[in-house]
Structure 1
Amino acid sequence: MQIITTHKNTDFDALASVIGATMLYPGAVGVVPTSVNANVARFLSTHKTAFNIVLPGEVDLQQVRRLIVVDTDQWRRLERMDDLRRRDDLEIVLWDHHQNDGDIEAHWSCQEPIGATVTLLVREMKKRQMELNPLVSTVLLIGLYEDTGHLSYPSTKAEDAAAAAYLLANGADLNVASVFLNPPYEEEQRDILFTMMQGTERIKHRHDTIGINIVELDRKIPMLAAIVSMYRKIINADAVFVIFINDETSSTVIGRSGIDRIDIGAILREFGGGGHPAAGSATVKSADYTSNEIKEKIIDSIKHRKSRGATIADLMSFPVTIVDGSTPMYEIRTIMQREKIRGILVGNEQQLDGIIVLWDLKKLKRESQWKSPVKAFMARDIITIPPDLQPSEAAQLMVKKNIGHLPVVHDGTVIGIVTRTDILTYFYGLLPE
């Protein structure tokens, strides 16, 4: 067994390095400390099941033959790894951009003074000509940006910028990155925000409220996308479009949506831009459209575009695996392995008694417990959802309740189940064409 771990109080460069290393070492398990930064905790609350990561207490250290350490070279910064420190038969690999003269003596290491550990991992990925999916690329980019101050810290090297370009070429989403990076809010951003709030034009379409604004810039303002995201929340609109007039030659349109019915990316693709349903942007030449023409075209597109977005019925898996409460736990484990699923419902299609998920199997410490009925370990407080619910609403429910499986019920009968992975697949566009 090989594991990958990092320092306590895990920041995004550390988390991203763990995830990146799992790409370079197939089969390795990422071990993320229990103490993580607030923005990392927020990310893991919705994304943890998308990666092969566990907590330190969930690893049998006696089975570990290779330890891969990222973003630190000090034993004291690792969580619950002291037993490994005393092992003579352990192979240790180290990836780190700090120069601390630490006490981890690695058999092989890549330790260089560079902006982020992610950059070192990306170097190897490029060497192997690896292609990454948008989710992994986005996580790596967040880590790289956090440790380089968006490529602005003095420690940033040219290779850091090249690594960022590689991740963007592999689908990294800057809009998602801006949400988790919590960029600083300076005076110039505040002034722009106040200007936007004073000039909002509200449009009602069916049950939705859309805010549209035209703002003339006299200089380049950083982090406009983050300001627009904040602006939508402050004015409590379902979607917003802000047209920033850069100069006499062009305008930049940035859109944000909190509902699936208004697809920002699709609307802004009409201007040569793009994005995904929740966020997008476009740069428009003044020779093609004036700012008012852009506004009218956006309004027209909203009113004439099909309003129905994807629903849970489009995302859910079916048929659903349901077992009786007396089913022994060893059989639950076999079903999960055979069907490659993480959750099993308990009861029947008309009456659910509980749910058992992969993480619950870690509660079993004694061999005799595997003969116990599933009802002894299942969660009984089940939250169900209707098939016409929007994916964004299901995602919010998962975050609020910290759950990864939602049974789908129609007319009193279970017809499917939706998981965190299903939601992530939808939002990141990971489904094959």
Structure 2
Amino acid sequence: MQIVTTHKNTDFDALASIIAATMIYPGSVGVIPTSVNTNVARFLSTHKTAFNIVLPHEINHQDVRRLIVVDTDQWRRLERMEPLRQRNDVEILLWDHHQNGGDIEASWRCQEPVGATVTLLVREMKRRDMELNPLVSTVLLIGLYEDTGHLSFPSTKAEDAAAAAYLLANGADLNVASVFLNPPYEEGHRDILFTMMQGTERFEDRHDTIGINIIKLDRKIPMLAAIVSMYRKIINTDAVFVIFVNDDKSSTVIGRSGVDRIDVGAILGEFGGGGHPAAGSATVKHGDYPPEQIKARIIEIVKNRKSNSATVADLMSFPVTMVPGSTPMSEIRKIMQQKKIRGILVGNEHQVDGIIVLWDLKKLKRDNQWKSPVKAFMNRKVTTIPPDLQPSAAAQLMVQEDIGHLPVVHEGKVIGIVTRTDILTYFYGMLPE
């Protein structure tokens, strides 16, 4: 067994480096410390099942033959890895951008003074010509940006910028990245925010409240997208569109939405821009649309939008794999492996008694437990949802309940199931493999 781990109080560079390393070393398992920073915790609450990661206490140290350490070179910063320090039969590989002269004696290391550890791993991914999907590219970009201050810290090197360009070329989403990064909040941002709040024009459409604004910029201000996200939350609207007039030639339009009914990416696609349902942007030449016409056209598009937005019925997987409560745990493991699924409902289509997920299988420590019926290990509290629920509401429910599977029930019958993967596929616009 080979594992990849990093330092306690894990930041995004460390998390991104773990994810990249699990791809570079096939079959490896990422081990995330129990203490992570706030933004990483928020990210993992919705994305953890998208990656092959576990917690330190879930590792059997006796099975480990290779330890891959990323973003640190000090044993004291690792969680529950001390037993491996004493063993001579464990190969240790190290990836790090810090130059601390730590005490981890690795048999191989890549330790160079670049802006972020993930930059070193991206270099290797590029060398191997590895294929990255938009989700992985976005996570790696967040890690790179966090440790380089959006490529502005003095420690940033040319290779960091090249890695960022590579990730953007592979679908990294800056709109998603801005949500999980702590944006700088300087005097210029404060002034823009106050100006937007004073000049907001609101209109209602089908019970949704939309804010729209035209702001003239007298200088270039970075991270406007993050300020627009903050602005929408402060004025408490379902969506906002801010038209920033750059000069007499063009405007930059930034949109943010908190409801699936208003797809700002599609709306701004009308102006040659794009994005996804929650975030989008466009740069518009005044020769095509002056600012007031941009505003009028956005209002028109919003009011003429189709009323049939996506629901969980469009996302759910079916048919649903269900087993009786007497099914042995060994059979549960076999079904998950054969069908490549992480969760199985217990009961029948008219009566859900419980659910067993991949993480529950880690509870089995003795061989004879695999002969036990699934009802002995299943979670009896199952949250179900109707087919007309919006994806954002399903995602919010997953975060609140810390669950990754939601059976879809219609007229007392299970008709499908929505997983974290389904939600991620929808929001990131990825097609299943």
Q: Which residue of 2 aligns with 1:312?
A: 312
Q: Which residue of 2 aligns with 1:245?
A: 245
Query: Following the alignment from structure 2 to structure 1, what is the Cα–Cα distance between the partners of residues 9 and 299?
Result: 46
1:230 partnered with 2:218: no
- CA contact under 8 A between 1:72 and 1:96: conserved in structure 2? yes
SS of the equivalent of 1:308 reads coil
SS of the equivalent of 2:288 reads coil
Q: Which residue of 1 aligns with 2:427?
A: 427
1:158 partnered with 2:144: no
SS of the equivalent of 1:418 reads strand
Query: Following the alignment from structure 2 to structure 1, what is the Cα–Cα distance between the partners of residues 149 and 200?
Result: 32
SS of the equivalent of 1:319 reads coil
Q: What TM-score do the two structures reach when normalised by structure 1?
A: 0.98
Q: Which residue of 2 aligns with 1:412?
A: 412
Q: Which residue of 2 aligns with 1:67?
A: 67
Query: Following the alignment from structure 2 to structure 1, what is the Cα–Cα distance between the partners of residues 356 and 343?
Result: 6
Query: Following the alignment from structure 2 to structure 1, what is the Cα–Cα distance between the partners of residues 308 and 240?
Result: 18
Q: What TM-score do the two structures reach when normalised by structure 2?
A: 0.98
Deviation of 1:102 after TM superposition, in Å, equals: 1.1
Residue-by-residue CA offset, 1:71-130 (whole Å, 9 max, x unaligned): 011111111111111111221111000111111111111101110001111111111222
Q: Which residue of 1 aligns with 2:53?
A: 53
Query: Following the alignment from structure 2 to structure 1, what is the Cα–Cα distance between the partners of residues 253 and 352?
Result: 48
SS of the equivalent of 1:211 reads strand
| TM alignment of 1:241-280, pairs within 5 A | 241-280=241-280
SS of the equivalent of 1:337 reads helix
Q: Which residue of 1 aligns with 2:208?
A: 208
Query: Following the alignment from structure 1 to structure 2, what is the Cα–Cα distance between the partners of residues 171 and 356?
Result: 34
Query: Following the alignment from structure 1 to structure 2, what is the Cα–Cα distance between the partners of residues 411 and 182?
Result: 44
Deviation of 1:397 after TM superposition, in Å, equals: 0.6
Deviation of 1:333 after TM superposition, in Å, equals: 1.4
Equivalent residue letter for 2:177: A
Cα RMSD (Å): 1.2
Quote the sequence identity (%).
83
Q: Which residue of 2 aligns with 1:301?
A: 301
Query: Following the alignment from structure 1 to structure 2, what is the Cα–Cα distance between the partners of residues 345 and 330?
Result: 15
- CA contact under 8 A between 1:262 and 1:307: conserved in structure 2? no
Deviation of 1:242 after TM superposition, in Å, equals: 0.4
How many equivalent residue pairs?
433
Query: Following the alignment from structure 2 to structure 1, what is the Cα–Cα distance between the partners of residues 308 and 218?
Result: 39
Query: Following the alignment from structure 1 to structure 2, what is the Cα–Cα distance between the partners of residues 365 and 43?
Result: 30
Q: Which residue of 2 aligns with 1:353?
A: 353
Deviation of 1:416 after TM superposition, in Å, equals: 0.6
Query: Following the alignment from structure 2 to structure 1, what is the Cα–Cα distance between the partners of residues 30 and 128?
Result: 21
Residue-by-residue CA offset, 1:258-286 (whole Å, 9 max, x unaligned): 11121111111111111111111011111
Deviation of 1:63 after TM superposition, in Å, equals: 1.6
- CA contact under 8 A between 1:10 and 1:36: conserved in structure 2? yes
Deviation of 1:190 after TM superposition, in Å, equals: 1.6
Q: Which residue of 2 aligns with 1:133?
A: 133
Spell out structure 1 runs of 4+ moving beyond 6 A: none
Equivalent residue letter for 1:75: W
SS of the equivalent of 1:185 reads coil
* Structure 1 runs not aligned, ≥5 long: none
Deviation of 1:432 after TM superposition, in Å, equals: 5.5
Q: Which residue of 1 aligns with 2:292?
A: 292
Query: Following the alignment from structure 1 to structure 2, what is the Cα–Cα distance between the partners of residues 337 and 327?
Result: 16
| TM alignment of 1:387-406, pairs within 5 A | 387-406=387-406
Query: Following the alignment from structure 2 to structure 1, what is the Cα–Cα distance between the partners of residues 277 and 179?
Result: 15
SS of the equivalent of 2:280 reads strand
Query: Following the alignment from structure 2 to structure 1, what is the Cα–Cα distance between the partners of residues 77 and 303?
Result: 55
Change (3 A) 1:367 1:432: closer
Equivalent residue letter for 1:134: P
SS of the equivalent of 1:88 reads coil
1:334 partnered with 2:312: no
Deviation of 1:247 after TM superposition, in Å, equals: 1.1
- CA contact under 8 A between 2:364 and 2:370: conserved in structure 1? yes
